[in-house]
């Protein structure tokens, strides 16, 4: 399916003239004749190919594939770019010090341009389907229009997430609309929420049709869940040109948006059309095995062909060289990882801990076989992404082809818990939080770790704080935290808290006083995987002569302080600047805010 999506999209999208936002190769759309357009959007197979073409910009070299996904979402109170302490344009994107001329981003084919290219393709499809397709709930053209509306919303949601206010383009570009100023994000959010409301009535449930049997196509569960997410974001705190605040638009009030989000989340939950995978490890094995069947926890995935996409290439447990698990090249994975204290913040009985935080890398292979090797306290890896869990042997030297899981069912439960807590109180939120924790802990631990823990959260503040903390344990490594911290108005608060935690961990003081400074390891019977003693709090006794010891205390102040750039207030740098290329080609219609 993955290759078919991209290839079909490439063929059909060639019928369109796509425009980069203020790029040089603009021709007024539509380039094809009205007759060609009427045929394209009245024949289901052709229209489906055109809608697949909306997805092509996701995978372009400097788009999501190699620029947006590798950098957006770092650094938070749980995740960081592994070399944040090394000055340069890559680190600047993560340490809240990006500049308009950033060399990683300041290209005409960057993510900004590709997002607008995707939006232009979506606009053409939406226009064509409305004119010639007779889209209705339950028919193919209705499904395709719903998908086009949703894909456009995805591009816009990510533009708003990374840049704040941006130009609003909801019609195909003409010469008269080539140069547009930024629009209020409030206007765009309201349009997206309305569009997703329409789309949810058009698209089918997961597995209701062959088309929605894969999470590489849009289904009703995802549309409703995504709409709930955007409602929470639109009503949350964020940096506006006049400061950090909530929207003043009454339509985007907390009361309105939380009510909408709770309604959509509950409809998803009550539908039974998605569910948590039985185990946390099983969820991530299924993901790495590229199981894209709909109806499980993954709601929609950004689809990459086998030779495109860099999720493992960027974020996997590091592999020093080609080995028994892949031929993706040397030093793949490990570009980012969990902050050093995150492992120690988990309850030891939490099954998410070992899946999420990995202290080893794969060393240089001997006779083609690599072994696990302990790293250092300041360098952990995201265990959610593992070549060793794949069923396909990657041979491309630049890409791994694993999809980006854009949203999963666990987030629906979090949205329901947070919105219910705000509107109805902690008792209404408790069942949703319990579901998250029930999967995280073995049955024998649930009376204490789930029921007693959640039942003790009897105030709205206590429940909210528990949701914020649980979000950390559930989503570390998925780069969802930054936007959540922003909308909670906790970005700088939590970043500073993380710095304090790292300093305490380094000194083994405060809540980290019982974290061992020495680890002991030996190899398992497979002579490949490690058995490690000393990772748990209080494990300080030498386990025996067959273990090798290693010091576990490398955590320098320069690294701790690189979480965000010295002298920078992250609350004043919640967004990237618009890159200089796009400013220069905007006919003076675009400018940067926020002191850039």
CATH code of 184's domain: 1.25.40.890
- pTM for this model (two decimals): 0.95
147 in any annotated domain: yes
How does pLDDT run across 184-237, given as a tens digit for each residue? 999 999 999 999 999 999 999 999 999 999 999 999 999 999 999 999 999 999
- Counting beta carbons within 10 angstroms of the beta carbon of residue 394, is it exposed (0 to 12), middle (13 to 18) or buried (19 or more)? buried
Q: Rounded distance, CA 235 to CA 253, Å? A: 6
161 in any annotated domain: yes
Q: Rounded distance, CA 151 to CA 85, Å? A: 36
> For residue 352, what are its two tokens?
């998410």
pLDDT at 492: 98
Coil/strand/helix, residue 498: helix
Q: Rounded distance, CA 421 to CA 127, Å? A: 40
- Find residue 319's DSSP bridge partners: 332, 362
> For residue 409, what are its two tokens?
């069912």
- Local structure of residue 176 (DSSP, 8 states): G
With b meaning 16 or more CB within 10 Å and e meaning fewer, what string describes 201-235?
ebbbbbebeebbbbbbbbbbbbbbbbbbbbbbbbb
Q: Rounded distance, CA 346 to CA 383, Å? A: 15
Residues of the chain with pLDDT under 70: 1-35
Cis peptide before 75 (omega within 30 of 0): yes
Q: Which of 411, 424, 490, 498 is nearest to 463 (CA)?
A: 424
Q: Rounded distance, CA 273 to CA 81, Å? A: 36
- The CA-to-CA distance between both ends of the chain, in Å, stands at 43
Residue located via tokens 């533009």? 159
Coil/strand/helix, residue 317: coil
- Calculate helix-pair angle for 140-163, 111-132, nearest 10 degrees: 150
Q: Rounded distance, CA 72 to CA 66, Å? A: 11
Q: Where are the alpha helices (H) located in 402-554, listed in sequence order?
A: 409-424, 426-440, 446, 453-455, 460-475, 481-487, 491-507
- Cα dist from 277 to 123, 303, 315, 431, whole Å: 35, 21, 22, 17
pLDDT at 2: 56
* 518 φ/ψ angles, rounded to the nearest 5 degrees: -130, 135
279 in any annotated domain: no
Count of C-beta atoms within a 10 Å radius of residue 488 = 18
In this structure, are residues 563 and 84 in contact, taking their beta carbons and an 8 Å threshold? yes
> For residue 188, what are its two tokens?
């765009």
- Which residues lie below 8 Å from residue 59, measured CB to CB, with a gap of 6+? 6, 65, 304, 305, 308, 309
Q: Rounded distance, CA 455 to CA 514, Å? A: 28
Q: Rounded distance, CA 594 to CA 447, Å? A: 49
Q: Which of 403, 392, 399 is nearest to 325 (CA)?
A: 392
- Find residue 372's DSSP bridge partners: 362
348 in any annotated domain: no
pLDDT at 33: 56
> For residue 349, what are its two tokens?
């009985």
Count of C-beta atoms within a 10 Å radius of residue 66 = 22
- Find residue 242's DSSP bridge partners: none
Domain that holds residue 48: 1-63+112-203
- Local structure of residue 514 (DSSP, 8 states): T
User: How many domains is the chain partitioned into structurally?
Assistant: 1
* 178 φ/ψ angles, rounded to the nearest 5 degrees: -60, -40
Q: Which of 301, 293, 258 is nearest to 274 (CA)?
A: 293
- Cα dist from 364 to 164, 172, 391, 526, 585, whole Å: 43, 52, 22, 17, 47
pLDDT at 27: 34
> For residue 521, what are its two tokens?
């390891």
31 in any annotated domain: yes
How does pLDDT run across 539-570, given as a tens digit for each residue? 999 999 999 999 999 999 999 999 999 999 99
Residue located via tokens 């592999």? 319
pLDDT at 8: 43
Q: Which of 367, 337, 342, 317 is nearest to 530 (CA)?
A: 317
190 in any annotated domain: yes
142 in any annotated domain: yes
Q: Rounded distance, CA 42 to CA 409, Å? A: 34
Q: Rounded distance, CA 167 to CA 185, Å? A: 9
- Which residues lie below 8 Å from residue 88, measured CB to CB, with a gap of 6+? none
In this structure, are residues 463 and 434 in contact, taking their beta carbons and an 8 Å threshold? no
- Calculate helix-pair angle for 460-475, 426-440, nearest 10 degrees: 30
- Cα dist from 46 to 35, 49, 129, 171, 374, whole Å: 14, 5, 11, 21, 52
Q: Rounded distance, CA 441 to CA 447, Å? A: 10
361 in any annotated domain: no
pLDDT at 307: 87
Q: Are strands 243-245 and 238-240 parallel, antiparallel or unpaired?
A: antiparallel
Q: Which of 188, 206, 184 is nearest to 196 (CA)?
A: 188
pLDDT at 6: 45
Q: Rounded distance, CA 1 to CA 140, Å? A: 18
Cα angle at 114 between 109 and 118, to 5 degrees? 155
Coil/strand/helix, residue 356: helix
């Amino acid at each position: 399916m993955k290759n078919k999506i991209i290839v079909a999209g490439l063929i059909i999208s060639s019928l369109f003239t796509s425009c980069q936002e203020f790029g040089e190769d603009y021709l007024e759309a539509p380039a094809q004749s009205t007759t060609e357009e009427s045929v394209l959007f009245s024949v289901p197979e052709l229209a489906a190919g055109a809608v697949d073409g909306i997805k092509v910009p996701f995978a372009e070299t400097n788009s999501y594939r190699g620029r947006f996904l590798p950098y957006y979402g770092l650094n938070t109170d749980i995740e960081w770019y592994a070399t944040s302490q090394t000055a340069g344009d890559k680190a600047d994107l993560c340490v809240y010090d990006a500049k308009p001329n950033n060399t990683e981003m300041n290209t005409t084919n960057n993510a900004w341009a590709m997002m607008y290219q995707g939006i232009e393709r979506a606009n053409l499809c939406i226009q064509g389907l409305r004119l010639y397709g007779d889209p209705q709930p339950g028919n193919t053209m209705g499904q395709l229009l719903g998908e086009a509306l949703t894909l456009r919303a995805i591009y816009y949601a990510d533009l708003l997430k990374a840049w704040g206010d941006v130009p609003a383009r909801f019609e195909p570009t003409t010469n008269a609309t080539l140069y547009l100023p930024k629009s209020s994000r409030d206007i765009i959010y309201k349009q997206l929420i309305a569009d997703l409301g329409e789309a949810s009535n058009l698209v089918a449930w997961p597995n209701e049709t062959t088309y929605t049997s894969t999470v590489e196509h849009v289904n009703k569960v995802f549309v409703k869940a995504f709409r709930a997410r955007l409602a929470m974001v639109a009503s949350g705190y964020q940096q506006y040109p006049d400061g950090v605040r909530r929207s003043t638009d009454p339509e985007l009030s907390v009361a309105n948006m939380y009510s909408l989000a709770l309604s959509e989340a509950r409809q998803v939950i009550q539908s039974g059309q998605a569910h948590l995978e039985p185990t946390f490890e099983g969820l991530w094995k299924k993901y790495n095995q590229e199981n894209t069947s709909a109806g499980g926890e993954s709601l929609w995935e950004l689809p990459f062909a086998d030779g495109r996409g860099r999720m493992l290439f960027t974020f996997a447990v590091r592999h020093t060289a080609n080995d028994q698990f892949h031929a993706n090249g040397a030093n793949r994975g490990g570009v980012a990882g969990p902050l050093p204290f995150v492992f120690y913040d988990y309850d030891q009985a939490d099954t998410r801990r070992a899946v999420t935080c990995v202290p080893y890398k794969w060393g240089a292979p001997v006779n083609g076989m690599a072994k696990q090797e302990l790293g250092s306290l300041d360098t952990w890896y995201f265990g959610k992404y593992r070549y060793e869990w794949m069923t396909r042997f990657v041979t491309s030297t630049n890409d791994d082809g694993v999809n980006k899981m854009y949203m999963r069912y666990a987030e629906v439960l979090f949205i329901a818990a947070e919105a219910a807590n705000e509107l109805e109180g902690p008792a209404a939120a408790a069942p949703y939080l319990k579901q998250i924790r029930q999967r995280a802990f073995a049955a024998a631990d649930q009376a204490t770790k789930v029921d007693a823990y959640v039942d003790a959260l009897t105030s709205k503040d206590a429940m909210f704080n528990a949701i914020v903390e649980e979000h950390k344990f559930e989503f570390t490594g998925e780069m969802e935290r930054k936007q959540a911290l922003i909308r909670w108005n906790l970005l700088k608060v939590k970043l500073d808290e993380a710095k304090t935690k790292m300093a305490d961990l380094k000194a083994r003081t405060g809540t980290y006083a019982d974290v061992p400074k020495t680890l002991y390891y030996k190899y398992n019977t497979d002579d490949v995987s490690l058995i490690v003693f000393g990772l748990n709090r209080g494990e300080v006794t030498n386990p025996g002569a067959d273990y090798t010891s290693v010091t576990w205390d490398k955590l320098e102040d320069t690294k701790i302080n690189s979480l965000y750039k010295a002298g920078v207030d992250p609350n004043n740098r919640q967004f990237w600047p618009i890159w200089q290329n796009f400013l220069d080609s905007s006919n003076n219609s675009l400018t940067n805010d926020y002191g850039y």
